[in-house]
Every structure is written in structure tokens, then in C-alpha cells.
Amino acid sequence: MKQFANITVLGRDKTGVVAKVASFLFEQGANIEGLEEQVTRGQFSMTIQASWKRKGWQPERLRSGLDRLAKALQMEIRLRYTQRDRLQRCAIMATREPHCLAALAEAFSARRIKAEPVLVVGNRRDLEPLARRHRLPFLYVPWHDRARAEARVLREFDQQQIDFVVLARFMKILSPAFVWRFKNKIINIHPSLLPSFPGPQAYRQAYEHGVKIIGATAHFVSMHLDEGPIIAQSSYPVRPNSTLEDLVLAGQKLEAKVLLKAVKLYLAKRLDVHWGIVKQV
């Protein structure tokens, strides 16, 4: 059996970061199974998937060493342990529309989703009663100051050892720094067949354009709004003389269905993201 961990590195770009982190992990007996790094506007970001043989696994030494390395590099280095034989721990973020959260909560309760729902985060209190009915802890985080709100949520995610995040109609834009910490681990649902009609008014745009087919898209969140790798999509025909309200009601049912499908595909480990495209393996 192996021990697995994900390591994220963030900070101002500088030379030698990849080599120093990789060398440290090698010294700790790690096998680097995946590494991805990029620089955006001078901001360096890197994620590493590493594994250890049980005999060489020394978590306290690893964490303290990474803390020292972070200070030396003047960067943030986060360590998150993972175990392939345990259920992944999920956080759900939502705002006020209940349909996606309700579908997720019911699926978790019926054990149709093989993961552990740990927390619901809301930037409003509208959905707190729904979360409580399903015995899901609810954390209210006002979003007036995005940096402070995200810092609060990330602290909670670290404490709860969150593995992946589902945005169940969460109507706030997450910063690139937040997204990178959970790269290809934040699943969002959008009420259109992306790339058509991005943004918050997708149903209205579709209605005003007179589309004949409308749909929903589940995708990994990237640092570009509604442009992340697509996981699942579905559609339905628009009936003649349908109103905007008709489109919204039909679309919300489809949103919940597509979001559940995407979460199940993710948990089945059947997804591989390559050059921005999700492939089922």
C-alpha cells in the first residue's frame, strides 16, 4: 500500500522553484506521479501528485520540511493527504437556488454518490434549512470581500480535509488563487450548452435568441469564467410558444441531472484532463 499526497505551490514567479521542490520530495523518498505548473501574470502555480511507500512515509517530517521550504522561497506550499481506500470528502457551495443542492443531498442520503458530504458553504442563508434537513453542516460566509471570504473557506476546507468541491449554483466568481488550489477538483453546473451563453443570464440569452435546443453543462472550474474543461452535457428541445419561465423550470431539472452525472464520473476516476479537454478513460 502507498500513501498519496497533493502539494500545491503558489507565489510570485522566480527561478528554481520546480527544481527545489522536486529535489526536496526526492530526499523525502517521494515518487512524483504528476506535476503541472504555469505562470499567469507573474503568479507561479504548481500542483504535484506524489506517493510514498509505507516504510518511507514520515508525515511530520514532510510537513515541517515543506513549511521551511515555503519560508525560504517566500511562497505558499500546501499539503493535502489522500488515501485511495477511503471515500473522498466533498464540500458543496451554493447561493439561493435549491434544485442542485437538493438533488445532491438526496443522492448522498441514498448513497447513490460514493463520497462523504462534509460541508455546505453558502454566501446567503437561504439554503441553510435545506442543508440541515439532510444533516449537512452549513457554513455561512458573507461574500462582500472576496479575499476574506475565500480565505475563510480555504481554512475550513483545510481543517475538514476536503478533496473536491461541487458548485451547486454558487453565484460568485472564485479567484484564480482559489481555483488553482483545487485544480480539476471543482465541478460547476452552467445552464447552457457551453460555450454558448456564458455568464449569469444564460436562460434569458437563450430565450431572446430564440434557440430551439437548450441544455446544461457540467465542467471543471478554470481561471476563465465558464471556460473550464467540459465533463458532461445534456439538452432538450424548446417547445413552440415556451416562455422564459418554462425554459428555466425545464432547465433546472436538467441542471441537477447533469451535475449528478458529472460528480459520479469524477468519483469513478474515469476522467482525464489533457490540454483542457476532459476524456473518459
Query: What is the distance between the alpha carbons of residues 172 and 143, in angstroms, rounded to a whole number?
Result: 8
Active site residue 226: yes
Supply the mean pLDDT for the chain: 89
Confidence (pLDDT) at 275: 46
CATH architecture of 2-82: 2-Layer Sandwich (3.30)
- Mean pLDDT calculated for residue range 132-152: 96
Task: Please indicate whether the domains covering 2-82 and 89-280 agree at the CATH topology level.
Answer: no
3-state percent breakdown (helix, strand, coil) of the chain, nearest 5: 35, 30, 35
**Active-site residue, selected from the candidate residues 67, 85, 145, 226:** 226
User: What CATH number labels 89-280?
Assistant: 3.40.50.170
Could you tell me how many residues make up the chain?
Answer: 281
pLDDT of 225 strictly over 80 = no
Q: What is the pTM of this model?
A: 0.84
Confidence (pLDDT) at 196: 84
Per residue in 27-72, pLDDT (tens digit) is: 999 999 888 888 877 889 898 989 898 777 888 899 999 999 999 9
In contact, 66 and 28? CB cutoff 8 Å? no
pLDDT of 82 strictly over 60 = yes
| SS3 state at 117 | strand
pLDDT of 177 strictly over 90 = no
- Mean pLDDT calculated for residue range 215-233: 88
pLDDT of 242 strictly over 90 = no
Give residue 235's Cα distance to chain centre: 23
Confidence (pLDDT) at 220: 93
Per residue in 106-136, pLDDT (tens digit) is: 999 999 999 999 999 999 999 999 999 999 9
Q: Is the dihedral of CA 140, 144, 146, 151 positive or negative?
A: negative
Domain boundaries, the chain: 2-82, 89-280
Query: What is the distance between the alpha carbons of residues 234 and 216, in angstroms, rounded to a whole number?
Result: 6
